[in-house]
Structures are given as structure tokens and as C-alpha cells.
Structure 1
Amino acid sequence: MISDRLRKTLFWIFVCATALFLLVPTLIIVPMSFSEGNRLVFPPEGFSLRWYGKVLSDPDWRAALVNSLLVGSVTTMLASTLGTAAAMMLNATSFRGKALVLGFLLSPMVTPVIVFGVGSYLVFARWGLAGTHAGLIVAHTVLALPFVLVSVLASLRMVNPNLALASAGLGASRLFTFRRVTLPLILPGVISGAVFAFITSWDEVVVAMFVANTGTRTVPIMIWNQVRTSLDPATAAVGAILIAVSTLGVALSYTLKESDR
């Protein structure tokens, strides 16, 4: 019989080995982005920040970065607002077909992205939204909304409903109760969902390739184009920036989740 201590040790060895297997191919991009040479090789040739400087000085990369930040920020605001409103409605009411509505709102999480991208292009081309920031924001909002919905629903289920009833019993309006009672209690969940909404938009490439054009290209599209044409350490530098932003976002979300317990 294997002792509990040995079983736990083997379990953590397996977990660490799996994590390394998944993370090393991604993290290896970071040291490659500091290479002095013109080739994307590992180990890197020397140490230099020249490729980060190139990314920040190149007008195409800067435009893509501005587009990503713009689309990601507006997407975050829209997804957070709509997702929070939908979560509160689903949490506070009970009606026939509620599970169907919830499944419909969560469907972008399980729909193949390529299918969603093709459908978005066909619809937006007819509406005149293809190749615009508005079309990209709408598409990313649909993809990001389920993350906000799930996060806020989880927070709402930990809120005592008697608090809102007590506020209403003291004469407070619904808006005042939401602002002063409910929102502070679910704020960690809202912020956590907003972080994941931004990361979803920040990293998304498939739908953006269908909806965006040369004027609305985001950073992931630029990376994809660079990989297909001329691969250099500048691409690794942008990849390292994406990894850093996503890591900070996940760390912030985890911190908020822990504080909400």
C-alpha cells in the first residue's frame, strides 16, 4: 500500500510536471524577446531591449496596440454592465425557461470560435459593421459577457438577500439599494469578470481576423501576420507583453476571488 504522504508527493510531482509541460513552450518566448540578434533563436544571442523599442516606435505596432486597448476597454465596460445586469435578473427572478436563457447567454463559451467568426462577418457585412471598431467591440462583448455573468452569479449566491429586503424596508429605492448594498458586496465578482472580459478581448484573434480590417487590426492579428511573413524577436517582445498583461489580469482576478470569500 502506498502511504498518504507518498501519494501526495507523487500527485504534486505530476501536477508540476504537467504545468511545466504546458508553460515552458509559452514562457520560452520571454527570454527570446531580449535577444540582440535579428533571428528568433533560443538561447538568445546576448541581451538587449532593442526589440521592445522597435515595437513601441513602429507605427503599425503602435496602432495595433491602441486598437487592442480601445476595443478591450470598451468591451470590458459593456460586458461588465450587461453581464452584471443579466446576472442580477437571473438571480432575483424565477420564470419558465430560465435555464434556457442562461444557456443562451453562456453559449459563446462553448460555440467554436471559427463558427462565431464566420457568422459575425456575414451579419456585420450586411449591417455595415465589418472592418469597424464598433463591430469588433460588439463581437468581443458577446464573447466576454459569459465570463462576467458566471463571476457575478457566483458572487450573488453568497450575498444574503435579507440585506436588500432590509434596505427596502427602511425606505431605500432599488437604485440606492443596488449602489450602497448590493454592488459593494458583489464588486469583487464584477471586477473579476471585467478582468477576464478584458483578457478575452486582448488575446482574441480568430473573430478579429474576420471582423477587423487593416485600420482596425489588433495586436494578435499583427502577431499572426508576422509569424506568416517575417518572424523576428519583435514578435517575441509583443508576445511577452501579452503574456505579462494576461498574467497580471489572472493574478488580480484570483486575488479578488480570495478576498470575496
Structure 2
Amino acid sequence: MSDMPPYATWPEKFGQYIFLLICTMIFIFLITPVLIIMPLSFNSEPYFSFTQGMMSLDPAAFSTRWYQDIFLFGMNDPNRTDGWWSDVWNNATWVKAAVNSFKFAVLATILATFFGTLAALGLSRPEMPWRSAITSLLISPMIVPLVITATGMFFFYAKKDTFPFFPRGLINEDIGIVLAHATLGVPFVIITVTATLTGFDNSLIRASKSLGANGWTTFRRVIMPLIMPGMISGALFAFITSLDEVVAVIFLADVHQVTIPRQMFSGIREQISPTILAVATVLVLISICLLTTLELLRRRSERLRGLSPG
């Protein structure tokens, strides 16, 4: 192999080939289920399997009807001409689920990024006591089984006369779902921002203060530009986590707060339709775009910290 040194022995070369083979098999095992749903979403028949026409690449066996069904399912009158978009926005089941999902995800991402960044800044300070214990506590939502976390949230949010302006608790409230999703997203922000702060030069803060800058100016003009890649990476992870969350929604939401994952879960149980595959394909494409953004931000962060040329 070209990256092996010329003095490498044949067992080392053989081990390298075995290693690459195992990595390739694992990659195929993980990516195949994701790739299979894409052609299945274009099936003209209401089946979750490849038909004979699809296997023979018959154009008549492929259709975009399930992508159209994302907008048409649940409408009062799909054939109407006036007020069609209003009918889609107010009544289409998948569109309402998408609106709820993105609304919760955006709000939860903002909260998770804000509190996660504050926590990472505090934990990065050398004089911070009990850093390991506090870090373990803050990232526990991504370690503890999600059903346990959701159960705890349910009993806590169900308490009456505990939360201001919500005497009946936070169950079946939008703010309850947003807080739950933010709680699940905070650990990702803490981890990414803390990793960015690992190579941070604290002398820049001292230099800023020596020039008369206050704490807010130092953060806005010195710290924030350098940790921004980590903040954005954590925000994207929090956004994906919220967009994909179904367990907490099942525990905390009512019938009017249906999100895309919950609608997919209900659809698989109650009404098998390839529309689920079409929605899943769209979510995969969104995830690919977000992952590409994360990789670009990671490379930019390395350049800012001087870990890579360019």
C-alpha cells in the first residue's frame, strides 16, 4: 500500500488490508439501510419492498406520488384551486408535523447553544472546582437511556403550581417540549465548545483586559470569533437531535403537537404508506447537508487553531 513504509513486513501489510476490509464492511452495514429507502420512496405501488418492475428498471414502476402525498395527505380538498396553499399549511398532516418539528428544533437549538456555551466556558476555566463531576452531570442526558430521561421529565413537568404562568404544568405545552429538546441538546454543545476551547490561548483574554475591554467586549470580540465553529457545530448537533427526537414527544406532547418522527412512528403502527420513506429520504438529504457543514466547520476550526495548513 502507498501509505505503508517500505520496510513494512508482510504481516503488517496483511493486517492493514484486513483492517480496511473490516472498516469497509462496517461502513456498508451502516449505510445500506439508509440508501435502500431512497429508491423505495419512488415506488409506484404502496409497498415497502422492491417490485418486479423496479428490479427490471421499468419507468412505469417509479413514481413521485409519495412525495406529492407529503403535501396532499390530510387536506380537506386536494383538487381545489383557490386557497390550496392555505389548505396545505393548515390541514396537511405531514406539513403540520414539519412545522412543529422545525419550530421546536430552532427554539431548542437556541437555548441549548446559549446554555451549553456558558457551561463550556465555565468548565474550561482552571479554577473551576469539581469540573469532572459537573461535566459528567451535564452530559448525562446523552448517556442515560432516553426513556428514563423522558419519564423523569414527564413527572417533573406534570407538577402543578410549580412553573410560573403554567399552573397546570408543562405537559402538553410547547415550552415543555422545547425545554426537553434543549436539555437533550446541551451535552453536544458542551462537548464541541469544550473541544474548541482546548487550544484556546488564554493570554488573549488577559491582553484584552489590559487594553481596557470589559467582559462582554472580550467575549464578543476575542473569544466568540475563535469558538464560533464549535458553537455552530454544537448547534447543528442539537438541531439534529431535536429534529430526530420521538420519545420525549410521546411523553410530553398532545395530539396537536405532532412532529415528523412521531408522525412516522404513528404511520408505521397505524397506516403503512411509502410516504414515510419519502419523508425519510428528505430527512437524510437534510442530514447530509448538515454533516457537510459540520465537516467544513471542523476544518475551519483546525485552521484557526493552527492544527492544519491552509
Give TM class, smaller chain.
over 0.9
Residues 129 and 135 of structure 1 are in contact (CA less than 8 Å); yes or no, is this contact kept in structure 2? yes
Residues 122 and 128 of structure 2 are in contact (CA less than 8 Å); yes or no, is this contact kept in structure 1? no
Match in the other structure for 1:38: 46
Equivalent residue pairs, number: 261
Q: Secondary structure at the match of 1:223?
A: helix
Q: Which one scores higher on RCO, CA 8 angstroms, separation ≥ 6?
A: 1
State the superposition RMSD in angstroms.
Answer: 1.5
What residue identity is the alignment partner of 1:133? D
Q: Deviations over 1:58-83 (max 9, x none)?
A: 31111110000000000111000110
Q: Secondary structure at the match of 2:43?
A: coil
Q: In structure 2, which of residues 111, 118, 121 is the aligned counterpart of residue 88 of structure 1?
A: 121
Q: Return 1-10 or 218-227, whichever deviates more.
A: 1-10
What residue identity is the alignment partner of 2:35? L
- Give the whole-Å Cα distance in 1 for the aligned partners of 2:271 and 2:291: 31
- Give the whole-Å Cα distance in 1 for the aligned partners of 2:128 and 2:106: 34
Match in the other structure for 1:55: 70
Higher alpha-carbon Rg: 2
Relative to its length, the structure with more helix (as a share) is 1
Identity %: 34
Q: Is 1:245 aligned to residue 286 of structure 2? A: yes
Match in the other structure for 2:57: none
TM-score relative to the length of structure 1: 0.95
TM-score relative to the length of structure 2: 0.81
Q: Deviations over 1:159-182 (max 9, x none)?
A: 111111111111111111111111
Structure 2: any 5+ residue segments left out of the alignment?
Answer: 1-8, 55-59, 74-91, 161-168, 303-310
Structure 1: any 5+ residue segments left out of the alignment?
Answer: none
Match in the other structure for 1:177: 218
What residue identity is the alignment partner of 1:55? I
Q: Deviations over 1:171-209 (max 9, x none)?
A: 111111111111000110000000000000011111111
- Give the whole-Å Cα distance in 2 for the aligned partners of 1:8 and 1:200: 35
- Give the whole-Å Cα distance in 2 for the aligned partners of 1:235 and 1:2: 50
Q: Return 189-198 or 202-211, whichever deviates more.
A: 202-211
Q: Secondary structure at the match of 1:41?
A: coil
Residues 196 and 250 of structure 1 are in contact (CA less than 8 Å); yes or no, is this contact kept in structure 2? no
Q: Is 1:22 aligned to residue 37 of structure 2? A: no
Match in the other structure for 1:211: 252
